Amino acid sequence: MGMEPTLVIIKPDGLKKSLTGDILSRLSETKLKIIAAKIMKVPKELAEKHYQHLSKEPFFEELIRYITGKIHGENRVMAMVYYGEGAISKIREIAGATNPEEANPVSIRGAYGRILTSGIFENVIHASSSQDEAEREIKLWFEPDEIVMDLYPTEEKVFEKVIKRVWKE
Ligand code: GDP
Ligand code: MG
């Protein structure tokens, strides 16, 4: 435990059902600090890295389709980093069990999740489950400068010939 960061993702079903506000209110009960947040599309490569520990599971392909928005016609997710005392377990508690049918009815997954006929657990939210997982996931979803705290060691790299999309003058 101690002071720690954790990654939270509101999945495409959460955005599709306009649950963002409700979920943020529930998470604010923890009194943890939000130190990064963004709405983004999820590239397939990021989804596959995020769920790499499940790549052998029969539901893996469906899970990638789910998190990349192919199932809901909604490709946005909201990714956040929360920080504070026991952040990982506090957020896992409010998120509820992986299977929405087994999740405590007052948890986010218990209240808003469901199992699709395809068998996928549509459970609205992702939350890191250990400090190692949090570090791996935060580094995957965020760059150092998108987070208002220095969580992990950084280094400076000089890039030449960087191609970047900017606003047209
Ligand atoms: P989490 O940490 O509680 O999200 O659970 P996992 O890391 O084990 O799994 C990641 C995601 O894969 C879950 O949130 C579900 O969306 C999905 N998932 C996990 N286990 C199962 C399963 O047994 N069946 C199905 N259909 N989906 C699963
Ligand atoms: Mg997990």
Q: Are strands 114-115 and 33-41 parallel, antiparallel or unpaired?
A: unpaired
In the chain, domain spans = 3-146
Neighbours of ion ligand 2 (CB under 5 A): 129
User: What is the spatial distance between Cα 99 and Cα 115, in angstroms, rounded to a whole number?
Assistant: 8
Rg, the chain, Cα only:
17
pLDDT of residue 149: 97
pLDDT, one tens digit per residue, over 75-94 is 899 999 999 999 999 999 99
Pocket mutation for ligand 1, best pick of 98, 101, 109 (most atoms within 8 Å of C-beta): 98
Q: Tell me which CATH code domain 3-146 carries.
A: 3.30.70.141
* pLDDT one-digit tens code per residue, 12-59: 999 999 999 999 999 999 999 999 999 999 999 999 999 999 999 999
- Tally: H helices and E strands in the chain: 7, 6
> Which numbered ligand comes closest to the C-alpha of 116?
1
